[in-house]
Structure 1
Amino acid sequence: MKKRVDRHSPAFNAHECSCGNPGIGHRVLLEGRAGTKVASSFCEPSAHAVEQAQIPAGNFLMGDASGEGNHADGERPLHQVKLEAFHIDVTSVTNADFAKFVTSSGYRTEAETFGYSLVFHLEYHGPARDVVGRANGAPWWLGIRQADWAHPGGRNTSIAGLEDHPVVHVSWNDAQAYCSWSGRRLPTEAEWEFAARGGLEGRRYPWGDEAVDAGGWRANIWQGRFPERNTLDDGYQNTAPVRSFHPNGYGLWQMVGNVWEWCNDWFDPTYYSVSQTSSPEGPSVGTLRVLRGGSYLCHASYCNRYRNSARSGSTPDSSTGNCGFRTVSSTNDRFWAQRTRSSA
């Protein structure tokens, strides 16, 4: 049985990367999953229409080679990783993609079931009565009643005109439900980083080491003074269409910036010191799931996590206006489906 939660309580807890996923722990008072389970009969692999890129098998040096990483995030030690080939979505899953899933399966996200999600303060223009709280340590994040994937700014907003933007306000559990329906899975953290690098060993960003604004903007991040004023130099206040800017060497769009992306692994800042070399799967247990890539709220002055090696984590039931996902597939997916069910 779920415990009752005071929806008017401001007691949301913020993670250290408060720009990226401030809702850490804001639902830990609730037991069990809230989202509607997707029955196996609703599995429709052919419905996943996102273009694919084949990532070749190979070895790479995983972790922060530049020395710019956040020590508490565990981006070091650098370590060699060997991966088998896999296919990955060239973009994040979009609102249009997620709408197909919801229409087909009848799934309700955790934000819809809980009745609220976290919205960045500059993106909220609704009634004050719908603000159920602010995140402790990150007051620019507001708990907004009836904010969800289809209403990203609250009850009076919609995704009309945003069909090609990444779906947001989706938890790790929601992303897993989509994967169950589509016959896909979330990437491991190692797969995500290998794909993000686009064949460039040891570089900061998917395009290399050049600054994000060198020769024109290369990613959707924050410009200006956070959190009061975004100068919109890159053209976007919040999310951008998934095929904005330029793809990396593997043809993948916006692996950094725009939205954080869920990975399959549990998050542990000490894991790299014990990581296996071949196809690492992350820790066997944990309380947080890995997020990668940073978002439109990242800026070098306070959160430089829009880098290939940057890591963060959030509780599996957390949802915010800057977290989404992309999916992968490989020949080992039957094993991965069994492992994910047993560890969730």
Structure 2
Amino acid sequence: MPSISGQVCQQRAQGAHSHYRDYYGELEPNIADMSLLPGGTVYMGTDKPHFPADREAPERQVKLNDFYIDKYEVSNEAFAKFVLHTNYTTEAERYGDSFLFKSLLSPLEQKNLEDFRVASAVWWYKVAGVNWRHPNGVDSDIDHLGRHPVVHVSWRDAVEYCKWAGKRLPSEAEWEAACRGGKERKLFPWGNKLMPRNEHWLNIWQGDFPDGNLAEDGFEYTSPVDAFRQNIYDLHNMVGNVWEWTADLWDVNDVSDNPNRVKKGGSYLCHKSYCYRYRCAARSQNTEDSSAGNLGFRCAKNA
């Protein structure tokens, strides 16, 4: 059987459908891999923000209707199926580059890419040839990462996948309600203790950031989408592993062509010393066209 990458290339060589929008609604959403969350009034945000500039505060109540949300982050396997059906090209592929963390680059590569280092986050580099097919460097592939989350996908890429699947991105309020799992005012999906029973329940950075990830949770980079303990709604990896896009604008008054969108959950690169954002109430943002090696998504659907 061809590799995941090989299947995509093989299908394109045979003349895959080029107009992916023709497929919208063709597939019935697979709700077997989704959880139904009850509507009602829920809390979101916190009155004890760790990052005031991120607008975590104030804690407030919001009303939600019943909705479905994916149990897992969208995997490379699932995204490859989307590309096979639609011939879709991600924004990172069209731009020709995406952002990689420094530990995925050799010292020589870091030196050669000095002009492409992100000034505000010096451990990130813009690297040519990196995209969802080559997530950890231009010479990497996803052949053994089928059940890992797809990364290097922009908000727009995520929206197109969701449309094809008959779904949509969750709102920030829906995402946060799903993360909390009915545990109001708790830091994590399981409560306030990071390591219950001294066990790792999420994929984040252990050790000294940014130069010494001990990977005590078992993963230096992404983990499979079904790794770690699920919450009460049977949802995996709601915090840690990869950031997840939501539907919401960061600034509701932003009418630019490339506004910032809210992302939630933190990632395998988060460490309390600089990015204590693997909490349900935490949030951050990126422009719609942004992509990186720790940024993915999951889908939602109206009930």
Interval containing the TM-score (normalised by the shorter chain):
0.7 to 0.9
- 2:261 equivalent in structure 1: 289
- 1:123 equivalent in structure 2: 104
For the pair 1:58 / 2:30, whether they are aligned, the reply is no
For the pair 1:98 / 2:54, whether they are aligned, the reply is no
Contact 1:38 1:181 in 2 (8 A): no
Runs ≥4 in structure 1, deviation > 3 angstroms?
Answer: 46-50, 125-132, 282-286
Residue 214 of structure 1: CA displacement?
4.8
Change (3 A) 1:284 1:227: closer
Gaps of 5+ in 1: 1-36, 269-281, 332-344
* Aligned counterparts of 2:93 and 2:44: Cα–Cα separation in 1: 37
- 2:286 equivalent in structure 1: 314
TM-score (norm. length: structure 2) = 0.87
Q: 2:68 aligns with which of 72, 83, 87?
A: 87
Change (3 A) 1:127 1:113: farther
Contact 2:20 2:85 in 1 (8 A): no
- 2:11 equivalent in structure 1: none
CA RMSD in angstroms comes to 2.2
Contact 1:295 1:306 in 2 (8 A): yes
- 1:329 equivalent in structure 2: 301
* Aligned counterparts of 2:64 and 2:253: Cα–Cα separation in 1: 17
- 1:77 equivalent in structure 2: 58
Deviations 1:112-141 (A, max 9, x none): 010000011112359839847111121211
Change (3 A) 1:107 1:248: same
**How much identity, in percent, do the aligned residues show?**
45
- The range that moved more, 50-59 or 155-164, is 50-59
Correspondence 1:21-32 to 2 at 5 A: none
SS in 1 for 2:74: coil
* Aligned counterparts of 1:47 and 1:251: Cα–Cα separation in 2: 18
- 1:165 equivalent in structure 2: 148
Correspondence 1:257-276 to 2 at 5 A: 257-268=240-251
* Aligned counterparts of 2:107 and 2:160: Cα–Cα separation in 1: 30
* Aligned counterparts of 1:73 and 1:45: Cα–Cα separation in 2: 37
Q: Which amino acid aligns with 2:277?
A: R
Residue 232 of structure 1: CA displacement?
1.0
- The range that moved more, 208-217 or 100-109, is 208-217
TM-score (norm. length: structure 1) = 0.77
Residue 162 of structure 1: CA displacement?
0.6
Deviations 1:193-223 (A, max 9, x none): 0110001111010011112465200110001
Structure having the larger proportion of residues in helix: 2
- 1:272 equivalent in structure 2: none
